[in-house]
């Protein structure tokens, strides 16, 4: 039998042509699925994409808006990918006509012919037909350009309104919050997220987001956006108004079916397809948000993955009988940091349904399941997803719900939580919820030799979305392969030179390379800013006074000895030893702050004072007026040594923590390291200066000794320090610190904090080397401490003699010559 | 009538530009970032990064690229093309060095 829907031909005389309209999640995925099903694909693929890029992960746009990911991180396939795979991509070309007789599609002056055509045109935001939607400051939220525009416009704005309290509206609201605007979400329905939640769930969500500072207005219908050129407010049907200086509309989506409809393809709410995904024209198919299948138009990616896979298998002939029979939607999402799982429609309750509910208002936890005919027909979970996997399983498999219904929520599995076994997990269990990757797919990739987390990610996409499943991916690699293979570049000191640190140091010494440019010329495979910065730091430590200091190898902060701010000004943090200051010092700082009209004077988390918003031109003057040394709040260097009041004042203090902290900071100020170095000294185990979460922490013990511990953190990572040793005197403590400093400085990778370095070398090894002198290098380390301390020069003294042209000079103004 | 002539504007001596770095200029109405590479090339681009407004003159040079100081987007010094397909290209300006003086064409 000949199948019309199949492109493969036993002996194709000419290559057949597949054209895909739309280069979004569905279009690009279809191309990938085709390559996977038939790597040498027996036909030419041409794609048209309205957006001028390769394709990107639309579901991560929320992260781009809230700043947790850079736009560049969400790209899936760069333009080069299309080239490598022989796919012709017309990016930035909108298809405006098709000719079904001649079998061609046209975008501007480009015409391509097809044998098979696929519509993957997705959908667009719905814009309510009310006045004011074209005002300046009114945005939609669908594309990467929208994201960039919203983010750019939000700068310096005060109040934003988001129209629509659904999933996307809330994501937009959260994104706006991170730009420091006050946000009000306006929802027409009586509660938030009406599709996924019932009234009680909506109320829990509302309380949660209000705690985050977002206002919610429900049952509010918008009548008009007010303003002349710029939007200034929103007016509602009941006559009330709220002021705002920007609006994001997220009021639902509309499938892009118009093009298909105009050229005679049958449409209803969207383009109609059957189980073979074919439209009313036998040579034209459709997948994604523009397709309507068995009455459903989906707005999430999971069903799209099923559709593209079925179609790819059909088209390539891998499985000519592949069909798509519809998706049951179960999603796990994170909305504004609130965990949410939803399946079926919880708000449609029939009189015969059993409703099982559990609420824990104190923790904003709400669970609800609807049991219909003995099976889970719908459920929503908010705040805590303990039972989510079990409920999803019951929902998807349509297995009978447990007779004691509470077991749906409180099974052994829920209580044991983490202790599930990866091995026992079925192959079709989804591991990566962002990209819909199952255990089986990941296992196959690992068996095929992908034994690092990034390699598995590249092959399957698992872990490339929000990243929360990376641990499981790693676990699977370990389970199957025995170990996770190290990525070779992981051991390099900097990305541009394929050598680990000891080899690099040896090579640099052997060749006598004393400047960054010299090292780059001789050893680098790639030039990038990280490599330059890392080399500058390493060479300075290595060559001391012989180092040839090239300022172009340094990042701006390290060139002008201050932190650049988001408006191009800088911050100034003078050193305040041990966090102890004086009336004179405070007066001086106050006077400087006044004289330079400092925008903000702030106590930092490091027990000192920050003067923020200083112009580059003013830096040398501010430093001179302060007359205090640099606090090195900007570079990879010794930062602070926080202290508590200690024995002199505190009734619990057993030793003089402030005196030790000040002594440490005076001795080690200015030391540069591969990463920041932060210390603290506490006068007793109550540990008020948080010594156990510092790179190096010291705590006075009951007997008046000092306990030194290393490798702690409480920033992006949290780790408790490991105890190195106990010493009796302040001098011994200072000496031990110096040894640790030199050993860390000379052995750590670029930007490797002690919280990674200490576990890598192990505390036992460090104790052996630094305390027991097992390598016999302690004397050498001590000598190096002296050398490094001697080399200290306060960088702020460059105020008197800048080291390169225009170092402390803002914009140079040049008049235009007379015409 | 609008003039389509480009103007050649002197920016001062080459030695006033730091080696391997950039400097910010305001030429009439046009803000520029002018760079002088370690290899001796001089080039000029628009002053602000299209990503989030980073001051490019405060950036670094890496190979043939300008690196923005804010989030390290990279731009080709000759074409202005960004290595991130999400950001637009930078406008570039022709620069010449004659007898030790730097000129930009606007
Ligand atoms: C000013 C200050 C915040 C404040 O107002 O209190 C601050 C400000 C910045 N921190 Fe911090 N950190 C400040 C204390 C801390 C602390 C608390 C502490 O030092 O006790 C931590 C947690 C401890 C730690 O370091 O782990 C901290 C963890 C971070 C991190 C995460 C580091 C990590 O590996 O976990 C970064 C990002 C990085 O280094 O890559 C960071 C990066 C930054 C930067 C430099 C970001 C940047 O590159 O622009 C911020 C500069 C802001 C600006 O515009 O000037 N800051 N930062 C604090 C300065 C302390 C000081 O006196 O020197
Ligand atoms: C901010 C945001 C967050 C989201 N979060 C999630 C989430 O967490 N989980 C989830 O499952 N889903 C999420 N979604 C939904 C998900 O992104 C969509 O379901 C998915 O993108 C639909 O894929 P698609 O290919 O059908 O449409 P799209 O991705 O929109 O792709 C269609 C493409 O076709 C192009 N196009 C249209 N017409 C033409 C034409 N005539 N010629 C050429 N090109 C054309 C469009 O420009 C577009 O690039 C989110 C959506 C947004 C906007
Ligand atoms: S100061 Fe630190 S915590 Fe605050 S925004 Fe900057 S990097 Fe983040
Ligand atoms: S502002 Fe330039 S990279 Fe972000």
Tell me the per-residue pLDDT of A186-201, one tens digit each, with 9 for 90 and over. 999 999 988 888 888 8
Flag whether B84 is in a domain: yes
Q: What domain count does chain B have?
A: 1
CA-nearest of A8, A3, A85, A96 to A46 is: A85
Least Cα separation, residue A150 to chain B (angstroms)? 11
Residue A118, both tokens: 């696929």
Residues A295-304, mean pLDDT to the nearest whole number: 89
A565 phi-psi bin (left φ>0, alpha ψ -120 to 50, beta other): beta
Whether residue A819 is predicted with pLDDT greater than 90 in this model: the reply is no
CA-nearest of A812, A150, A520 to B17 is: A812
- In tens, the pLDDT along A11-34 reads 445 688 999 999 999 999 999 999
| Three-class secondary structure of residue A692 per DSSP | helix
Distance A287 CA to ligand 4 centre (A): 36
Residue B100 near chain A (CB below 8 Å) = no
Least Cα separation, residue A133 to chain B (angstroms)? 25
**CATH architecture group of domain A330-415:** 2-Layer Sandwich (3.30)
Please state the domain extents for chain A.
16-123+255-316, 138-251, 330-415, 419-481, 491-554, 636-799
Flag whether B4 is in a domain: no
2.60.40.10, 3.40.50.300, 3.30.413.10, 3.30.450.20: CATH of A636-799? 3.30.413.10
DSSP characters over A360-428 = EGGGTEEEEEEEETTEEEEEEEES--TTHHHHHHHHHHTPBPPSSGGGGTS-HHHHHTT---TTTS-TT
Which of A152, A556, A805 has its CB closest to that of B58?
A556
Greater model confidence, A543 or A246:
A246
Whether residue A6 is predicted with pLDDT greater than 50 in this model: the reply is no
Contact call for B86 and A804, based on CB within 8 A: no
Residue A473, both tokens: 């991916």
DSSP character for A597? T
Contact call for A813 and B26, based on CB within 8 A: yes
Amino acid A208: pLDDT: 85
Whether residue A160 is predicted with pLDDT greater than 60 in this model: the reply is yes
Contact call for B23 and A819, based on CB within 8 A: no
Beta bridge partners of B61: B66
Least Cα separation, residue A142 to chain B (angstroms)? 14
Q: Give the pLDDT band (50/70/90) at residue A415.
A: very low
Flag whether B77 is in a domain: yes
d(CA A538, CA A493): 10
Q: Given this chain, do its domains A16-123+255-316 and A330-415 carry the same CATH topology?
A: no
Residues A357-367, mean pLDDT to the nearest whole number: 86
Low-confidence winner among A291-295, A411-415, A585-589, A771-775 (lowest mean pLDDT): A411-415
3.40.50.620, 1.10.3720.10, 3.50.50.60, 3.30.450.40: CATH of A16-123+255-316? 3.50.50.60
Amino acid B86: pLDDT: 59
Residue A818 near chain B (CB below 8 Å) = no
- Assess whether the C-beta atom of A141 lies below 6 angstroms from ligand 2: yes
Mutation to test the A interface, candidates B17, B21, B76, most A Cβ within 10 Å = B21
Whether residue A812 is predicted with pLDDT greater than 60 in this model: the reply is yes
Q: Would you tell me how many other CB atoms lie within 10 Å of the CB of residue A318?
A: 16
- Assess whether the C-beta atom of A23 lies below 6 angstroms from ligand 2: yes
| Residue nearest to ligand 1 atom 17, measured at CA | A605
- In tens, the pLDDT along A418-434 reads 434 677 778 888 888 76
- Assess whether the C-beta atom of B73 lies below 6 angstroms from ligand 4: yes
Measured from the CA of A634, which atom of ligand 1 is nearest?
A: 45
- Residue B65 is part of which domain span? 18-105
Amino acid A12: pLDDT: 46
| Three-class secondary structure of residue A473 per DSSP | helix
Measured from the CA of A717, which atom of ligand 1 is nearest?
A: 35
Fold of the CATH domain A419-481: Arc Repressor Mutant, subunit A (1.10.10)
Amino acid A465: pLDDT: 61
| Residue nearest to ligand 1 atom 47, measured at CA | A563
Residues A264-271, mean pLDDT to the nearest whole number: 95
Given a contact cutoff of 8 angstroms between Cβ atoms, the answer to whether A164 and A158 are in contact is no
Flag whether B32 is in a domain: yes
Whether residue A693 is predicted with pLDDT greater than 70 in this model: the reply is yes
Burial class from Cβ neighbours inside 10 Å (0-12, 13-18, 19+) for residue A47 reads buried
- In tens, the pLDDT along B15-40 reads 999 999 999 999 999 999 999 999 99
CA-nearest of A50, A140, A155 to A96 is: A50
Whether residue A683 is predicted with pLDDT greater than 60 in this model: the reply is yes
CATH number, span A138-251:
3.50.50.60
Least Cα separation, residue B102 to chain A (angstroms)? 12
Which of B11, B60, B87 has its CB closest to that of A552?
B60
Interface predicted TM-score (ipTM) over 0.85: no
Least Cα separation, residue B18 to chain A (angstroms)? 5
Amino acid B87: pLDDT: 65
Measured from the CA of A123, which atom of ligand 2 is nearest?
A: 30
How would you write A740-766 as a 3-class SS string?
A: HHHHHHHHCCCCCCHHHHHHHHCHHHH
Closest ligand to C-alpha of residue A286 is 2
Put simply, the chain A residues between 79 and 98 with a CB less than 8 A from any chain B CB are 79
Whether residue A3 is predicted with pLDDT greater than 60 in this model: the reply is no
Amino acid A1: pLDDT: 31
**Alpha-carbon distances of A297 from A23, A285, A473, rounded to whole Å:** 19, 15, 32
CATH of the domain at B76: 2.102.10.10
Q: Give the pLDDT band (50/70/90) at residue B5.
A: low
Contact call for B3 and A556, based on CB within 8 A: no
Nearest CA in chain A to B103: A814
Residue A528 near chain B (CB below 8 Å) = yes
Closest ligand to C-alpha of residue A606 is 1
Low-confidence winner among A308-322, A410-424, A448-462, A586-600 (lowest mean pLDDT): A410-424
Contact call for B23 and A555, based on CB within 8 A: no
Measured from the CA of A639, which atom of ligand 1 is nearest?
A: 63
């Amino acid at each position: 039998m000949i199948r019309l829907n199949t492109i493969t031909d036993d002996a194709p005389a000419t290559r057949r042509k597949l054209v895909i309209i739309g280069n979004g999640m569905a279009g690009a995925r279809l191309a990938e699925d085709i390559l996977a099903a038939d790597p040498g694909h027996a036909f030419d693929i041409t794609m048209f994409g309205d957006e001028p890029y390769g394709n990107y992960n639309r579901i991560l746009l929320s992260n781009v808006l809230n700043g947790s990911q850079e736009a560049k991180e969400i790209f899936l396939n760069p333009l080069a990918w299309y080239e490598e795979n022989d796919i012709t991509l017309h990016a930035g070309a909108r298809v405006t006509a098709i000719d079904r007789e001649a079998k061609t599609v046209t975008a501007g002056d480009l015409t391509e012919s097809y044998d098979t055509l696929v519509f993957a045109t997705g959908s667009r935001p719905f814009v309510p037909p009310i006045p004011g939607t074209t005002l300046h400051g009114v945005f939609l939220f669908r594309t990467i350009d929208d994201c960039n525009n919203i983010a750019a416009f939000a700068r310096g704005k005060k109040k934003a309104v988001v129209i629509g309290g659904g999933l996307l509206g809330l994501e937009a609201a959260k994104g706006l919050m991170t730009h420091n605007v006050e946000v009000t979400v306006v929802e027409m329905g009586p509660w938030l997220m009406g599709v996924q939640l019932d009234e009680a769930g909506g109320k829990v969500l509302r309380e949660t987001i209000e705690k985050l500072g977002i206002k919610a207005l429900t049952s509010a219908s918008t009548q008009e956006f007010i303003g002349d050129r710029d939007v200034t407010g929103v007016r509602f049907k009941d006559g009330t108004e709220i002021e705002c200086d920007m609006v994001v509309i997220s009021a639902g989506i509309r499938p892009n079916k118009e093009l298909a409809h105009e050229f005679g393809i049958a449409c209803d709410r969207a383009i109609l397809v059957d189980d073979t995904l074919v439209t009313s024209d036998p040579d034209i198919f459709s997948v994604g948000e523009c397709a309507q299948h068995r009455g459903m138009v989906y707005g999430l990616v999971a069903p799209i993955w099923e559709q593209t896979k079925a179609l790819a298998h059909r088209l390539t002939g891998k499985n000519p009988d592949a069909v798509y029979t519809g998706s049951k939607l179960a999603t796990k999402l994170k909305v504004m940091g609130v965990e949410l799982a939803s399946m079926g429609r919880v708000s449609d309750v029939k009189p015969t349904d059993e409703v099982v509910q559990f609420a824990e208002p104190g923790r904003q936890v709400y669970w609800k399941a609807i049991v219909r005919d003995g099976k889970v027909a719908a459920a929503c979970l908010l705040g805590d997803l303990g039972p989510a996997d079990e409920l999803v399983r019951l929902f998807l498999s349509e297995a009978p719900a447990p007779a004691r219904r509470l077991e749906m929520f409180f099974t052994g599995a829920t209580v044991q939580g983490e202790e599930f076994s990866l091995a026992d997990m079925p192959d079709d269990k989804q591991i990566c919820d962002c990209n819909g990757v199952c255990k089986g797919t990941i296992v196959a990739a690992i068996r095929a030799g992908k034994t690092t987390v990034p390699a598995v990610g590249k092959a399957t996409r698992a872990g490339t979305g929000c990243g929360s499943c990376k641990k499981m991916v790693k676990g699977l690699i370990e389970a199957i392969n025995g170990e996770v293979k190290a990525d070779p570049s992981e051991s390099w000191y900097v990305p541009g030179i394929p050598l680990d640190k000891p080899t690099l140091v040896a090579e640099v010494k052997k060749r006598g390379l004393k400047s960054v440019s010299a090292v780059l010329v001789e050893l680098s495979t790639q030039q990038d800013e990280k490599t330059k910065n890392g080399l500058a730091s390493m060479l300075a430590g290595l060559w001391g006074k012989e180092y040839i200091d090239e300022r172009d190898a340094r990042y701006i902060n390290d060139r002008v000895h201050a932190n650049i701010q988001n408006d191009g000004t800088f911050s100034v943090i003078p050193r305040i030893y041990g966090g102890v200051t004086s009336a004179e010092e405070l007066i001086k700082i106050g006077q400087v702050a006044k004289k330079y009209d400092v925008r903000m004077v702030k106590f930092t988390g490091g027990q000192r004072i920050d003067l923020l918003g200083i112009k580059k031109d003013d830096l040398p003057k501010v430093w001179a007026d302060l007359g205090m040394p640099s606090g090195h709040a900007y570079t990879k260097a010794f930062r602070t040594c926080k202290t508590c009041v200690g024995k002199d004042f505190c009734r619990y203090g057993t030793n003089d923590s402030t005196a030790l902290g000040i002594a440490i900071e005076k001795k080690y100020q200015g030391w540069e390291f591969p990463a920041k170095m932060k210390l603290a000294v506490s006068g007793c185990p109550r540990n008020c200066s948080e010594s156990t979460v510092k790179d190096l922490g010291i705590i006075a013990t009951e007997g008046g000794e000092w306990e030194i511990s290393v490798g702690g953190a409480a920033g992006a990572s949290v780790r408790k320090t490991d105890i190195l040793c106990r010493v009796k005197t302040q001098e011994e403590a200072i000496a031990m610190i110096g040894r640790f400093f030199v050993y860390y400085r000379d052995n750590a990778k670029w930007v490797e904090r002690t919280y990674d370095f200490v576990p890598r070398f192990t505390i036992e090894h460090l104790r052996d080397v630094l305390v027991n002198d097992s390598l016999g290098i302690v004397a050498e380390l001590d000598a190096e401490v002296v050398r490094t301390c001697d080399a200290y020069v306060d960088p702020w003294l460059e105020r008197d003699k800048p080291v390169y042209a225009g170092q402390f000079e803002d914009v140079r103004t040049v008049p235009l010559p007379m015409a | 009538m609008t003039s389509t002539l480009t103007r050649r504007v002197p920016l001062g001596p080459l030695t006033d530009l730091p080696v391997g770095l950039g400097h910010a200029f305001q030429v009439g109405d046009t803000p520029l970032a002018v760079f002088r590479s370690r290899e001796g090339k001089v080039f000029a681009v628009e002053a602000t990064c299209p990503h989030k407004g980073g001051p490019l003159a405060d950036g670094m040079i890496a190979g043939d690229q300008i690196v923005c100081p804010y989030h390290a987007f990279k731009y080709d010094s000759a074409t202005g093309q960004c290595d991130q397909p999400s950001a637009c290209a930078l406008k570039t300006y022709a620069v010449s060095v004659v007898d030790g003086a730097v000129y930009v064409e606007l």
